[in-house]
Amino acid sequence: MGELQTKERVLSIQNLIIKFKLRGQVLTAIRDISLDLYKGECLAIVGESGSGKSVLVKSIMGLLDKNGYIDQGQILYQNMDLAQFTTEKDWLKIRGKEIAMVTQDPMTSLNPLKTIGKQIEECVVLHQGLKGKSAYEETLKLLRDVGIHDVEKRYKQYPHEFSGGMRQRIVIAIAIACNPKILICDEPTTALDVTIQAQILQLLTNLQKKYGLTTIFITHDLGVVAKVADCIAVMYAGDIIEVGKTEEVFFDGKHPYTWALISSLPQLGTKGDQLYSIKGTPPNLFKEVKGDAFAPRNQFALEIDFVERPPFFKVSETHYARTWLLDPRAPKVELPKALQAFFEEGRRLANEK
Amino acid sequence: MKNREVLLEVKNLKVEFGKGKSKFTAIDDVSFEIYKGETFGLVGESGSGKTTIGRAIMRLNEVTDGQILFHGKPINGKISKDWEREIIQKIQMIFQDPMASLNERAKVDYIISEGLINTKKYKNEKEREEKVRKALLAVGLLPEFASRFPHEFSGGQRQRIGIARSLVMEPEFIIADEPISALDVSIRAQVLNLLSSLQESNNLTYLFIAHDLSIVRFITDRTAVIYKGNIVELAETEKLFNNPLHPYTRALLSAVPEPNPFKERAKVVEIYDPSQHDYDRNPPSFVEVEEGHFVLANEEETARYREKISLGVS
Amino acid sequence: MGIYTKEISNISDKSSEQLFQFAVSDDHQAEETAYSNYSYWQSTWKSFLKNRVAVFLLALVLIIVFFTLLQPYLPGQKSPTEIYLDEQTGSQARNIAPGSEFWFGTNSIGQDLWSRIWAGTRTSLLIGFVVALVEVVVGIAIGAMWGFSRKLEAPITQVYYIVENIPTTIVLILMSYILRPSISTIIIAMCITGWVEMARFIRNQIVILRDREYNLASKCLGTPSYRIILKNLLPYLISIIMLRMSLAIPFAIGSEVFLTYIGLGLPVSEPSLGNLINEGRVLMMSPDLRYQLFFPSIVLSVITIAFYIIGNAFADAADPKNHV
């Protein structure tokens, strides 16, 4: 509890609403979200496609599609409200320099016509103010830092001469070269093979420690979250429905959607039996969401879930969940067996630690 | 185990792409058997050739060498028209990306009955419509969806339309090529459950191609791990996961992220280095180290693996 | 204190005891949630309507087409081919400036330019539509086979190289010499070479689509090639086929003008935009008679530009990426 208060808040999103104009209709992609990011922590935003997790980080980088706009709310960073930024010139002060991003497909972030060394060096020159030999040395150091061997030779090679995993390392090197305060990783390993994914995740965790980075990690893979995250924000249909420390969300989750996500993991299933599954499909954001967006698919849905959007209920100093089940008037819920066992195991492992 | 009926047999399969200098061997001397009623997993990373094997069985990729037998009869190369018609009906495929595998400009009704129209497996319009209706219900969709276009559906629903399209043909054998990896996490379980319940009710045999080992472990009976066009290890799934022998299998297993923060952070990731094998001097072969457990290994490695097993058992 | 605590006090008074009961689940509703009412053609049409210029030109073209068909049956119309005589002198009513009698004036042998322009437009549009239609039908048929069948690919490519390397103009000139000049001659001449571009275009598109997963799926189901082409491939190409077709019409009209201009097109007795412009060209240098070039040129320009703009606007509208 005290630990939290001493932490420095780096980025604060307050009551953010983002809308998109699409085919003459207005779609609400982010529905009144508030979120804090503290220095040095790794926040994982978990959600499926269409949950708005990518839109959220794009708005932080000023990269919203041209038909999207911030309807309401603030994005506070260093006494600035990024939500008020309108011109590219404003954003260039932030992008790269303060907040850098690593995307899913490394090829889109690299210039195929320039050697990777030059591309990294450009950032070093621009953002670290180094020149000539010292910029070159810094570039080689960055390449070594992201786990590339034979750096002098690699410096002169073009992106197509690298494998997917290596390219992602180079993109990470470019992001770090800008010396950012916040690093956003948007599904950085989704396109990679599992063995490569494991290496990249390890690399990102090491770099985070080494450079004291604050990281936002976007993913749908709970395994990846378990590896990298200090805190988790679970998103569903444009809303954060649960936020807390990694262990809290994993082993003491409160929102039925969080339960459902964990229960439907094949690791929790028993072979030959049916796996726990969430019925239906994610909602269409064109329709106005009333109450809790997850209610139609929620086996524990209460009548009130269809009427009124639940507020954040406080579970602990760091853990909040947006579900009426936490209301004192709500009935008790019997969790699925497999989930109970999973929570049990988590508590046991926490004690052993 | 030995006396189970073999449904599909792949013998010394070799698939090459391109000619001359740009020739590339995607599959090199792969053999395996799939028993009737089981789910056979084929696991590998991108470029390992797992999809090529599936497509060779579907006759979409040409086979350079070797044989594929279905019910003991060859299905690759030149085959008779009648036999071809029969295997088109008996062997079906479920594709990875439900966004790409449905014809956007056709109604669901046509998409599902496409195979029926080809094989003329109905007497009149009414019977065809009834079959489409049943297939939609079987995959948990509403019959009125037949008159809609695919773009109106979400990924999970589209994948179920893809399954209905295979199901309506009343197949015996289904190749599922990464059927859930393109789906949202919240609907993967739906589709997995659907596949298992359909297997039971329709007496299906699956070849389940995937890269996600946690799913493979949950759904398959036997698993083959494929690396660069070669199967490196094949065993009953539980045996393979509990006692992986080949260093590549071990690396792959250790790399899968565990959705448990405590376990995941305590885990040591193994890295596979192909140069650890001494295959130039001592070439490997596909050997059975214990009953039903095959590993690609040379003599020295075989001895080591056998010793490991005997230690593990005792 | 975190930022979330404030909200907790905001629970509305609406929440009564009854609301805290488990809701009855509805599977039907759970399936329906993802329904979107997007329709391709509706969105295409809506985006097209947003382009005011194109909509205006489309209306204009429709009016012109309608009017050319209707014009001969209107009261008080003169014949496009009859040579009118001056009532006083009895000689040909030559080069009379536009006025109440002859709205657009007469030409050098005393024919009524107003009715000749509409007759000419009718002829040119006919040529344009027929040639575009033949090009599209032949081009699609050959292009589809070319792109889809791996056996036919090599022979059709060879034919393509041959036809492509003979300049269209030479073919047209030869054709005009061999056959007697007439509307059908000029249509045949233009069709002989016209399909090539269309076929190549369709082929390229089909090669792009051919190996998409949904076509592999159809192959796995044993769907015959012709049905894959008809049901899986061509429907995806409809918008670009329409674009090509709308561009082929002004191109064919332009070709006719060019051929007639160099003297290989339609006979002088057959009014067409080409003939009219050719006649007007001779008189271009005398300021009084320039109207004989102006009127047909204006009609030609309007039709050509209109089709180009409509075609492009339609192609933009038909691209799903622009359906925002």
Quick one: A41 and A109 in the same domain? yes
Quick one: A48 and A160 in the same domain? yes
How much is the CA Rg of chain B, to the nearest whole Å?
21
Q: What pLDDT shows up at residue B119?
A: 87
Give the closest of B188, B214, B272 to A267, CB-based: B214
- Per the domain annotation, does A240 fall within a domain? no
Buried b or exposed e, range C287-308, using 16+ CB within 10 angstroms: eebebbbebbbebbeebbebbb
Q: Which residue of chain B is at minimal alpha-carbon distance from A164?
A: B46
**C29 and chain B: CB distance < 8 Å anywhere?**
no
- Per the domain annotation, does A239 fall within a domain? no
Q: What pLDDT shows up at residue B313?
A: 55
Of C180 and C124, which is predicted with more confidence? C124
Can you tell me the distance from the alpha carbon of A288 to that of C232, in angstroms, rounded to the nearest whole number? 35
Cβ–Cβ of C212/B100 closer than 8 Å? yes
Residue A224 has pLDDT above 50, yes or no: yes
Report pLDDT digits (tens) over A291-318.
888 988 888 988 888 888 999 999 999 9
**A23 and chain C: CB distance < 8 Å anywhere?**
yes
Q: What pLDDT shows up at residue B314?
A: 42
Where does B156-265 show beta strands of DSSP type E? 173-177, 205-210, 222-227, 230-236
Name which of A100-109, B54-63, C272-281 the model is least confident about: C272-281
Give the closest of A296, A314, A331 to C8, CB-based: A314
Q: What pLDDT shows up at residue C2?
A: 39
Strand bridging mode B39-43 / B222-227: parallel
Q: What pLDDT shows up at residue C9?
A: 42
Residue A325 has pLDDT above 60, yes or no: yes
Can you tell me the distance from the alpha carbon of C211 to that of C179, in angstroms, rounded to the nearest whole number? 44
Q: Which two tokens stand for residue C74?
A: 């209107």
Domain coverage including residue A218:
2-234
Can you tell me the distance from the alpha carbon of C181 to that of C172, in angstroms, rounded to the nearest whole number? 11
- Per the domain annotation, does A49 fall within a domain? yes
**A14 and chain C: CB distance < 8 Å anywhere?**
yes
**A327 and chain C: CB distance < 8 Å anywhere?**
yes
C270-273, long-range: CB within 8 Å, 24+ apart, which pairs? C270/C123, C270/C182, C270/C183, C271/C80, C271/C81, C271/C116, C271/C119, C271/C120, C271/C123, C272/C120, C272/C123, C272/C124, C272/C127, C273/C120, C273/C121, C273/C123, C273/C124, C273/C299, C273/C300
Q: Which residues contact C42 (CB under 8 A, 6 or more apart)?
A: none
Q: What pLDDT shows up at residue C275?
A: 82
**B272 and chain A: CB distance < 8 Å anywhere?**
yes
Angle at C294 between CA C80 and CA C120, to 5 degrees: 30
Buried b or exposed e, range C71-82, using 16+ CB within 10 angstroms: beeeeeebebee
Distance in Å, alpha carbon of C218 to nearest chain B alpha carbon: 8
Q: What is the CATH number of the domain that holds A152?
A: 3.40.50.300
**C36 and chain A: CB distance < 8 Å anywhere?**
yes
Residue A72 has pLDDT above 50, yes or no: yes
- All residues of chain A having their beta carbon less than 8 Å from the beta carbon of residue C48 are none
Nearest to B17 by CA among B64, B65, B76, B59: B64
Cα of C116 vs its chain's centroid, Å: 24
Q: What pLDDT shows up at residue A271?
A: 84
Q: Which two tokens stand for residue C183?
A: 């509307």
Backbone torsions φ then ψ of C83, nearest 5 degrees: -90, 120
Residue A236 has pLDDT above 80, yes or no: yes
- Per the domain annotation, does A338 fall within a domain? yes
Q: What pLDDT shows up at residue A1?
A: 41
Can you tell me the distance from the alpha carbon of A59 to that of A62, in angstroms, rounded to the nearest whole number? 5
Buried b or exposed e, range C202-222, using 16+ CB within 10 angstroms: bbebbeebbebbbbbbbbbbb
Cβ–Cβ of A199/B185 closer than 8 Å? no
Do the Cβ atoms of A198 and A150 come closer than 8 Å? no
Cβ–Cβ of C232/B141 closer than 8 Å? no
Give the closest of C28, C37, C214 to B101, CB-based: C214
Q: Which two tokens stand for residue A339?
A: 């989930």
**B96 and chain C: CB distance < 8 Å anywhere?**
yes
Cβ–Cβ of A281/C34 closer than 8 Å? yes
- pLDDT band, very low/low/confident/very high, at C8 (cuts 50, 70, 90): very low
- Per the domain annotation, does A247 fall within a domain? no
Show the domains of chain C with their CATH numbers: 51-76+116-322 (1.10.3720.10)
- pLDDT band, very low/low/confident/very high, at A157 (cuts 50, 70, 90): very high
Cβ–Cβ of A250/B269 closer than 8 Å? no
Quick one: A229 and A258 in the same domain? no
Can you tell me the distance from the alpha carbon of A79 to that of A175, in angstroms, rounded to the nearest whole number? 23
Q: Which residues contact C24 (CB under 8 A, 6 or more apart)?
A: none
Alpha helices in chain A (DSSP H): 2-6, 53-61, 88-94, 106-109, 116-128, 132-145, 151-155, 164-177, 194-211, 222-228, 246-251, 256-263, 337-352
Q: What pLDDT shows up at residue C3?
A: 40
* Overall average pLDDT of the C227-239 stretch: 88
Do the Cβ atoms of A242 and A255 come closer than 8 Å? yes
DSSP letter at B33 equals E
Do the Cβ atoms of A175 and A100 come closer than 8 Å? yes
Can you tell me the distance from the alpha carbon of C87 to that of C96, in angstroms, rounded to the nearest whole number? 13
Q: How would you class C1 by CB atoms within 10 Å of its CB: exposed for 0-12, middle for 13-18, buried for 19 or more?
A: exposed
Q: What pLDDT shows up at residue A231?
A: 95
**A193 and chain B: CB distance < 8 Å anywhere?**
yes
Element (H, E) at B263: helix B261-266
- Per the domain annotation, does A271 fall within a domain? yes
- Per the domain annotation, does A135 fall within a domain? yes
DSSP letter at B178 equals S
Q: Which residues 258-287 on chain C approach chain B with CB closer than 8 angstroms?
A: none
* Overall average pLDDT of the C68-78 stretch: 81
Give the closest of A302, A308, A317 to C14, CB-based: A308
Q: What pLDDT shows up at residue B63?
A: 92
ipTM: 0.87
Q: Please give the biggest Cα pair distance in chain A.
A: 68
Residue C102 has pLDDT above 90, yes or no: no
- pLDDT band, very low/low/confident/very high, at C283 (cuts 50, 70, 90): confident
Q: Which residues contact A133 (CB under 8 A, 6 or more apart)?
A: none
Q: Please give the biggest Cα pair distance in chain B.
A: 67
Can you tell me the distance from the alpha carbon of A74 to that of A83, in angstroms, rounded to the nearest whole number? 5
Distance in Å, alpha carbon of C320 to nearest chain A alpha carbon: 11
- All residues of chain C having their beta carbon less than 8 Å from the beta carbon of residue B151 are 36, 38, 40
Residue A46 has pLDDT above 90, yes or no: yes
Q: What does the pLDDT profile of chain B (314 residues) look like in tens digits?
A: 456 899 999 999 999 998 878 888 999 889 999 999 999 999 998 889 999 999 999 999 889 999 999 999 999 888 999 999 999 999 999 999 998 999 988 889 999 999 999 988 888 999 999 999 999 999 988 888 888 888 878 888 899 999 999 999 999 999 999 999 888 888 889 899 999 999 999 999 999 999 888 899 999 999 999 999 999 999 999 999 999 999 999 999 999 888 999 988 888 888 888 888 888 888 888 999 988 899 999 988 999 999 888 887 54
Of A288 and B31, which is predicted with more confidence? B31
Element (H, E) at B307: helix B299-313
Name which of A77-91, A238-252, B91-105, C246-260 the model is least confident about: C246-260
**C158 and chain B: CB distance < 8 Å anywhere?**
no
Do the Cβ atoms of A56 and A240 come closer than 8 Å? no
Can you tell me the distance from the alpha carbon of B311 to that of B305, in angstroms, rounded to the nearest whole number? 10
Residue C176 has pLDDT above 80, yes or no: no
Cβ–Cβ of C221/B106 closer than 8 Å? no
Q: Which two tokens stand for residue A214?
A: 């604050």
**A26 and chain C: CB distance < 8 Å anywhere?**
no
Q: How would you class B115 by CB atoms within 10 Å of its CB: exposed for 0-12, middle for 13-18, buried for 19 or more?
A: buried
Quick one: A190 and A221 in the same domain? yes
Q: Which residue of chain C is at minimal alpha-carbon distance from B165?
A: C221
Average per-residue pLDDT for chain C: 80
Quick one: A219 and A266 in the same domain? no
- All residues of chain A having their beta carbon less than 8 Å from the beta carbon of residue B189 are 264, 266, 275-278
Quick one: A7 and A118 in the same domain? yes
Element (H, E) at B251: helix B247-255
Quick one: A225 and A159 in the same domain? yes
The residue with tokens 């001397």 is: B29
CB atoms within 10 A of CB C267: 13
Do the Cβ atoms of C111 and C80 come closer than 8 Å? yes
Q: Which residue of chain B is at minimal alpha-carbon distance from A261?
A: B186
Strand bridging mode A239-245 / A319-321: antiparallel
Q: Which residues 45-74 on chain A approach chain C with CB closer than 8 angstroms?
A: 67
Give the closest of A195, A276, A350 to B45, CB-based: A195
Angle at A127 between CA A123 and CA A132, to 5 degrees: 65
Distance in Å, alpha carbon of A293 to nearest chain C alpha carbon: 10
Q: What pLDDT shows up at residue C142?
A: 93
Quick one: A287 and A229 in the same domain? no
Quick one: A271 and A333 in the same domain? yes
Angle at A208 between CA A114 and CA A2, to 5 degrees: 155
Three-class SS of residue A183?
strand
Q: Which residues contact A338 (CB under 8 A, 6 or more apart)?
A: A263, A268, A269, A270, A276
* Overall average pLDDT of the C112-135 stretch: 88
Total residue length of chain C: 324
Following DSSP, what letter does each residue of A204-247 receive, concatenated?
A: HHHHHHHHT-EEEEEES-HHHHHHH-SEEEEEETTEEEEEEEHH
Cβ–Cβ of B184/A220 closer than 8 Å? yes
Quick one: A132 and A262 in the same domain? no
Cβ–Cβ of A278/B190 closer than 8 Å? yes
Angle at A272 between CA A271 and CA A273, to 5 degrees: 95
Can you tell me the distance from the alpha carbon of C110 to that of C81, in angstroms, rounded to the nearest whole number? 9
Q: What pLDDT shows up at residue C318?
A: 77
Q: Which residues contact A80 (CB under 8 A, 6 or more apart)?
A: A94
Give the closest of C7, C22, C35 to A312, CB-based: C7
- Per the domain annotation, does A293 fall within a domain? yes
Residue A207 has pLDDT above 80, yes or no: yes
Can you tell me the distance from the alpha carbon of A175 to that of A102, in angstroms, rounded to the nearest whole number? 7
Show the domains of chain B with their CATH numbers: 6-101+164-242 (3.40.50.300)
Q: 3-state SS of chain C?
A: CCCCHHHHCCCCCCCCHHHCCECCCCHHHHHHCCCCCCCHHHHHHHHHHHCHHHHHHHHHHHHHHHHHHHHHHCCCCCCCCCCCECCCCCCECCCCCCCCCCCCCECCCCCEHHHHHHHHHHHHHHHHHHHHHHHHHHHHHHHHHHHHCCCCHHHHHHHHHHHHHCCHHHHHHHHHHHCCCCHHHHHHHHHHHHHHHHHHHHHHHHHHHHCCHHHHHHHHCCCCHHHHHHHHHHHHHHHHHHHHHHHHHHHHHHHHHHHHHCCCCCCCCCCCHHHHHHHHHHCCCCHHHCHHHHHHHHHHHHHHHHHHHHHHHHHHHHCHHHCC
Q: How many domains does chain A have?
A: 2
Give the closest of B196, B213, B259 to A226, CB-based: B259
Quick one: A19 and A76 in the same domain? yes
Quick one: A119 and A155 in the same domain? yes
Q: What pLDDT shows up at residue C266?
A: 79
